[in-house]
Amino acid sequence: MNELIFIGLGLNDEKGISVKGLEETKSADSVFIELYTSLMPDFSLRRFEALCEKKIKVISRHELEEENGAVILEAAKKGKAAFLVPGDPFIATTHVTLRVDAEKNGIKTRIIHGTSIISAIVSLSGLHNYKFGKTVTVPFPENFSEAPYNVIAQNKKFGLHTLCLLDLKATEKQFLGINQAIAMLLEVEKKKQQGIIIPDTPAVGIARAGSDNPTLKADFIKNLATYDFGEPPYSLIFPGELHFMEVDSLIAFASAPTEFKRLAK
In this chain, which stretch among 31-39, 107-115, 166-174, 257-265 interacts with a copy of itself, using CB under 8 A? 107-115
Question: Which of 64, 84, 86, 89 touches a copy of itself (CB under 8 A)?
Answer: 89
**Exposure string for 66-93, b = 16+ CB within 10 A, e = fewer:** eeebebbbebbeeebbbbbbbbbbbbbe
Residue nearer to a copy of itself on the CB measure, 96 or 183? 96
At residue 245, φ and ψ (nearest 5 deg) are -65, -35
Among 54, 57, 135, 241, indicate the residue that binds a copy of itself (CB under 8 A). 135
Site for a copy of itself, residues 192 to 211, rule: CB under 8 A = 210
Q: Is 86 in the site for a copy of itself (CB under 8 A)?
A: no
Half-sphere exposure of 187 (CA within 13 A, CB side): 12
In angstroms, the CA 252 to CA 255 distance is: 6
Site string for a copy of itself, 230-249 (x = CB under 8 A): ---------------x--xx
Orientation of helix 147-157 relative to helix 178-192, angle to 10°: 80
Rounded-to-integer distance, Cα 217 and Cα 235, Å? 11
**Least distance between a copy of itself and beta carbon 7 (Å):** 11
Return all residues near 18 (Cβ < 8 A) that are at least 6 apart: 8, 10, 112, 113, 114
CB nearer a copy of itself, residue 22 or residue 218: 22
Q: Which residues contribute to the site for a copy of itself (CB under 8 A)? A: 8, 10-11, 13-20, 22-23, 51, 88-93, 96-97, 99-100, 103-104, 110-111, 113-116, 118-120, 122-124, 126, 128-137, 154, 158, 160, 210, 212, 245, 248-249, 252-253
